[in-house]
Chain A
Amino acid sequence: MAARAYTSNGALFVALTSMALFTLAYGQISLSLGETFAALTGSGSDTLARQIVLDIRLPRVVAAILAGGALGMAGVLMQALFRNPVADAWSLGLLAGGQFGVALAVTAAAFVGPAAVSFLTFFAGPSITLAAAAGVALTAVFMLALGRRVGAITLLVVGLMLGFTVQGLTSVLLHFAARAGGRVYGGWSDASFAGVETSTLPWLAAPILLGTGAAVATAKPLTSLLLGETYAKSLGVDVTTLRRVALAATVLLVAPVVAFCGPVSFVGLIAPHFARSLAGTARILPLLPLAALGGALLALTGDAIVHLPWEQHFLHLNAILAIAGAPVVILILIFSPAVRGWR
């Protein structure tokens, strides 16, 4: 089992590194691998290549890897926490909640006046992460409470509807915010890793690192929650504390992603299934690195496809992710015994 995990993690790591190098080298302007390495290590003299690789492509690649990894791990946590194979930050509306939080903050600042907007712009990193975190946390608490009353499918549909509602509300809010002069986060409603700059990367990375720590710490008790609350309790787990920690980990992982990359769909939903099939177990701890690497690979591949040197730029990240993800979800809905048998 251990050998299998090492092989899977190793293979995924190699694939991810190759994809990252490809994305760094290839695009509207193609660079050779040698030029890319030179730009990365700073040994080259070509300033244009350095600019393209370090300032334009690298932040995007790092953001895709961080966000994909975070969503993959959050998906593992949420599927265990909700005991629902189609749970993830996107499908249960947590991303929508975070988006709404950011939209509210931006609108409020816009109405307060230019000072508030410039304050928000200046502290863009922490402030929109906090706003997103509040939205994600509130939605998560609501969905957890709802999850105790309704079945897996109902919860999924509610989550998706919540997404639509919030999308509408966000769009309306930003409409008025723009009128009031707050064009700060205008074009932000579709998922993309391209908006992340080198200076904002730490705001993306720090919460994700903290969230990863909490996820790892909670992995063992969370595994026993897969058997249900009573069994977890009988195995010595303090279920209330476990729920809180796992929820906090989810918020830490998800909030920065929605704040900086928007509502990235499907990654968190299918990465855990991918990880489980590779690991051959549902134990949480071995799933975390696999889901992180798998999620990162999926996000980065989606981003790479979007940024291929197309004649026109109409491709959206979520469109690519939907083509990869939606069929998987359909298969899960049809074949997963947990979904079939649920009420």
Chain B
Amino acid sequence: MLSTEKLLVGYGSRAVLGEVDLSAEEGSFLCILGRNGAGKSTLMRTLAGLQPALGGRALLQGEDVAAMRAATRARRIAVVLTEREFSPALRVEDVVSLGRQPYTRWQGSLTAEDTRIVDESLEKVAAEEFRGRYFDDLSDGERQRVMIARAIAQTSSLLVLDEITAFLDLPGRVEVMALLRRHARETGAIVLLSSHDLELSLQLADQVWLVKDGTLRSGTPESLIDRGLVAGAFDTADVHYSAAERRFQLTDAD
């Protein structure tokens, strides 16, 4: 289980979000939604232990994420980010194998078990056919799938994915989100995805965390929609969220 206690996140002395108290069950697929700059990425980085919290704690299976040893954390939490990193001369296979790094000895060589997990992870994201290609030569969609395979190979109990669908087209996004949801169901891992894809997230997520004005509301998509919170977070002068039709509409139809 993932939970937070009065978690306050931000940079330096500037808090952007908090205090957050929430929890997520094993095997759930969670989407974080909110406008740009609402603090989604900061929250996710803090939950992943990549930056310290300004206050409060994040607990994974009862253990403080910030206090974990780096090696332990690497076995429990896997991360996929938006940034397009160049990875000179790394092949797809190398990238996915890196997911096993927290488990290997000092040489970093893979056991038969590690190799099996790498193969399975590649298969899960349908990337076996380009396992020998250079990572830098892949399309954006292929690249994200490989990074997801790497995260899956890390066999962590929490997967944190920050706006990874941004570069993908609609079928690609649906595919990736369905895949992550399936992964959560099958392995019992908690999958935490931030996305700009509101309608898709509201359809697929078990739970939605809605970030707005420094506060976070959580609930099932239905409850958030019914309470008018989705509309409250995203409506502008030009568009509003229609709870009845479950989609955005132009406010002024004339």
How many angstroms from the CA of A132 to the CA of B208 in the assembled complex?
Answer: 59
B88 and A83 within 8 A (CB): yes
B98 and A338 within 8 A (CB): no
A79 is an interface residue with CB less than 8 A from chain B:
yes
CB proximity of A76 to chain B, nearest CB, Å: 11
A230 and B108 within 8 A (CB): no
On whether A285 and B107 interact (CB within 8 A), knowing A231-B85, A234-B74, the answer reads yes
Of the listed stretches A13-21, A189-197, A235-243, name the one at the interface; the rest are far from the partner chain: A235-243
How many angstroms from the CA of A338 to the CA of B106 in the assembled complex?
Answer: 28
A123 is an interface residue with CB less than 8 A from chain B:
no
CB proximity of B190 to chain A, nearest CB, Å: 16
Q: Which residues of A contact B70 (CB under 8 A)?
A: 233, 236-238
Of the listed stretches A28-36, A96-104, A275-283, A293-301, name the one at the interface; the rest are far from the partner chain: A275-283
A122 is an interface residue with CB less than 8 A from chain B:
no
Question: For chains A and B in complex, what number of residue pairs have CB atoms within 8 angstroms?
Answer: 96
Most buried by B among A282, A285, A336: A282
B87 and A227 within 8 A (CB): yes
Of the listed stretches A60-68, A160-168, A172-180, A215-223, name the one at the interface; the rest are far from the partner chain: A215-223
Q: Which residues of B contact A314 (CB under 8 A)?
A: none
CB proximity of B68 to chain A, nearest CB, Å: 10
7 interchain residue pairs of minimum CB distance: A236-B74, A220-B108, A337-B136, A228-B85, A282-B89, A234-B79, A338-B88
* CB<8 Å pairs between A and B, sample of 15: A83-B87, A84-B88, A85-B89, A224-B98, A224-B101, A230-B79, A231-B81, A236-B72, A236-B75, A282-B94, A283-B108, A336-B88, A337-B86, A337-B136, A338-B87
Q: Which residues of B contact A (CB under 8 A)?
A: 48, 50, 70-75, 77-79, 81, 83, 85-91, 93-95, 97-99, 101-102, 104, 106-109, 134, 136-137, 154
Given contacts A230-B81, A236-B101, A341-B86, 11 further A-B contacts (CB under 8 A): A83-B87, A84-B88, A220-B107, A223-B94, A227-B90, A227-B95, A228-B87, A234-B77, A235-B99, A281-B91, A337-B86
